[in-house]
Each structure stands twice: as C-alpha cells, then as structure tokens.
Amino acid sequence: MLTSLTGMPLASIPSPSEGVWYIGFIPIRAYALCFVVAIIFGIWFSERRWRARGGEKGTISEIAVPGVIFGLIGARLYHVITDWQTYFGPRAIKEPYRALFIWEGGLSIWGAIALGGVGMWLACRRRGLSLGAVADTVAPSIAFGQAIARWGNWFNQELYGSPTTLPWGLEIDQAHGGEPGVLYHPTFLYESLWDAALGFALILAGRRFTLRHGRLFALYVAGYTFGRFWIEGLRIDPVGGVDHAVTLLGLRINQWTSIVLFIGALVYLWVTRNKGTEQIVVPVSQHKASHEENGGQASDPIEST
C-alpha cells in the first residue's frame, strides 16, 4: 500500500458507496444485475458452442430455464444451510424471512451446480439428449459467468480477504466489517480473474484433447476448486457464522468442499478416460423430421468419440 505523509493510502481499490440504483420507484440492484448479465452471457455463449458441435438452435436456451431456476434455489439453500445463524437462533442478525432476499448476497456456486445440474438432467432426459455433451458445452460458460457474477460481491462489499499492504488492496467500510485505513485482499477479484482464465483454458483443452462424456466439465470442477481452495484461505469475511467463519481442522467449510469436489473430479476423469460410447446431441425425433424434410439428407444426431 502506498501511503502519503498523513498515512492515508495512495493506491487501493475503492468499494462502491452503494449497490442499488432507482429508475423511478424500481430498484436496480447491482448484485442481481451482475448475475443476470452472467446468465445471459452464459446462455448465449453456450448456444454458440452447442451449434458448433451439431446441436439444434435454441436447445441450450430451453435447457437453461430449469437449470437456472433449480440453480438459484440450490445456491440460496446452500447459503442458508451453511450460514443459518445469520437468520435463525439467538445470534441472528437478520429476520428469518430475509433468507429469501437473494439480492442481499448469498448465492453459493456449490448449491447452484448441484441443483442446477438436476434441472439440466431433467431437461436433457425429456429431450433425449446426452447430459455429458451438454455439460461439456456449458463448462467454459459457467466459468466466464462466475467471473462476471463475482463483481456483485464487490458492490455488496463481501468476499474479501485478510489485511494487505499491496497497492490493489480493497477498501471495506465499517458497516461491512472493515477498519479505517486498512486494506484487504480483493478475493472477489482474484476469483473473477481465476474463473476467466479457467474459461479460456477449458476452451483450449476442449480443442486440443478429446474431452467428451462430461470430462471437460470435470476439468472445470477440478480447475475451479483448485483455485477456490487457496482463495478461500485468504478470506476473513464471515461464512457459516454471524461474526466468524465455521472451520473444521483449521480449514473453512468451503475449503473442505473444494477438496472433496477436486478429488471427485480427478476420479471421474480417470474412470472415464477410455469411455467412448455415443452421445446424442440432436433428439432422434427431430433428426427424423429433418431427414425427411431434406430428402434423406441430414446430419447424424449421434456424436461418437
């Protein structure tokens, strides 16, 4: 941290003074806006990738609807379960009904992936598509979407790390746990940059190697959790408690989750290393209709590896 003669920092990252703007009486919340932009970009980019591998236009958009709905529910449930003391019990600092206020922050990627995956699985099953093919298609988009969504934490002044003297230290006001004249590691920024780099790495890996049947998605999980582990270790903002983070054997709960998922992703990559069964990227019924309309000339709905 660069300081003047008065001891005040000359270089730092300021936190926004407010995260809500109004158009008339309608509130526009920066946190929610970041997530909306992330979702729209993710769907658009995934559609392009799906069409490039032979899928039908609009497929990802349809699958995304239950995926996003289930994902938002899962993201909030994980937050409330792991941070229950904020809303329930004698130490609660918020009324229980505010557990429904997702715009105040608290959307966990772990819950989003878990229940969002269930929503996508149901949609893929209904349409007769291979879940692995869809998962591999959306993997880079999820990483890029997280890179965008993390800026919502900046507006909410959350997801920050321990004090630092680095010139890119983050200013946090006292209402959000900061101290005057102290700068903190901008862990939201670290994760945003990590996610963006991961997204590009996944695209390159997908082009360089034959990663099918969910293997590219597994690589995303491994890459994300590897970065999340060390970034989480820098954090000091409360997670899982009102004024502290719940830890187990010296590690935060999210670090343990990262370890479990990282190992699981590596196991999946190893177990499926020789898997080469067919994947359906176009529903058989649509393929037959296209085949008839084009006089017997249509692309194969089966993708082999």
Binding residues: 150
Of the candidates 160, 277, 258, the residue with the CA atom closest to the CA atom of residue 214 = 277
What is the CB neighbour count within 10 angstroms for residue 191? 23
Which residues, in sequence order, are CB contacts of 273 under 8 Å at separation 6+?
none
Q: How many angstroms separate the CA atoms of 247 and 240, rounded?
A: 9
Cα–Cα distance, 181 to 23 (Å, whole number): 34
DSSP alpha helices (H): ranges in 169-283?
Answer: 187-208, 215-232, 253-271
Minimal CA–CA distance to 152: which of 116, 106, 83, 183? 106
203: nearest Cα among 67, 39, 43, 48: 48
Three-state secondary-structure class, residue 21: strand
In the chain, the N- to C-terminal Cα span, in Å, equals 53
Q: Which residues of 236-255 are buried (b: 16+ CB within 10 A; e: fewer)?
A: ebbbbeeeebeeeeebbbbb
Q: CB–CB of 151/110 below 8 Å?
A: no
